[in-house]
């Protein structure tokens, strides 16, 4: 059986139209299910991170510490105005002598800050814990040295 050029064009148009229809059906069904094409994910913060300049602070010094709501790629979610608890604990003594200027902060455009004051030489664990807001965020944690330690 021989196909004429006119029949070949019609066949090509039919296959192209069918393929285009199939692609549109897939896109429409994924949109209804909330699935994103191409591996993209829904935007929004998933965790809290703690940001600061140095890993240590001198005794009696003040250190500004920033808390941010970020997505899995580390991008700040500027829509977050959540309430966050900030805790500080000493790793090498029973009572923590370091102080924060606030134990609860509100994120403004995804960011908040606190000031830490070191009182004596100690290793601290600083934790940012989500308290309330649009959706729960995983806690962020870091270590900070107060005073002079070997290797710093």
Joined together, the tokens standing for residue 116 give 């830490």
Residues 110-115, mean pLDDT to the nearest whole number: 95
DSSP bridge pairs for 34: none
pLDDT, one tens digit per residue, over 89-108 is 998 877 888 899 999 999 99
Q: 3-class DSSP state for residue 11? A: helix
pLDDT, one tens digit per residue, over 56-78 is 788 888 989 999 999 988 899 99
Where do the domains of the chain lie?
5-39, 47-146
Q: Distance between CA 88 and CA 83 in Å, rounded?
A: 17
Q: 3-class DSSP state for residue 145? A: strand
Joined together, the tokens standing for residue 152 give 């710093």
Contact 86, 114 (CB under 8 A): yes
| DSSP state for residue 138 in the 8-state scheme | B
Contact 107, 84 (CB under 8 A): yes
- DSSP character string of 60-108: T-EEEEEEEEE-TTS-B-TT---EEEEEEEESSSSS---EES-SEEE-B
Residue 119 contacts by C-beta under 8 Å, 6 or more apart in sequence?
Answer: 59, 60, 97, 98, 99, 146
Q: Indicate the average pLDDT of the chain.
A: 81
Q: What's residue 76's pLDDT? A: 93
Residue 133 contacts by C-beta under 8 Å, 6 or more apart in sequence?
Answer: 80, 81, 82, 83, 107
For 34-43, 51-60, 98-107, 122-131, which range has the lowest pLDDT when averaged over its residues? 34-43
For the domain spanning 47-146, the CATH number is 2.60.40.10
Q: What's residue 5's pLDDT? A: 81
Q: Provide φ and ψ at 149, rounded to 5°.
A: -120, 150
Q: Rounded to two decimals, what is the model's pTM?
A: 0.68
């Amino acid at each position: 059986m021989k196909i004429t050029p006119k029949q070949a064009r019609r066949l090509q148009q039919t296959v192209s139209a069918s393929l285009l229809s199939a692609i549109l059906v897939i896109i429409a069904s994924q949109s209804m299910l909330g699935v994103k094409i191409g591996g993209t994910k829904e935007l929004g913060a998933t965790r809290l991170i703690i940001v600061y300049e140095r890993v240590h602070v001198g005794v009696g010094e003040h250190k500004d510490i920033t808390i941010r709501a970020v997505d899995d790629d580390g991008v700040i979610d500027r829509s977050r105005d959540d309430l966050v608890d900030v805790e500080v604990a000493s790793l090498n003594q029973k009572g923590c002598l370091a102080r924060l200027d606030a134990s609860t902060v509100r994120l403004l455009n995804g960011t908040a800050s606190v000031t830490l004051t070191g009182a004596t030489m100690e290793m601290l664990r600083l934790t940012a814990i989500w308290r309330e807001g649009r959706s729960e965020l995983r806690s962020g944690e870091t270590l900070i040295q107060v005073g002079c330690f070997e290797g710093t």
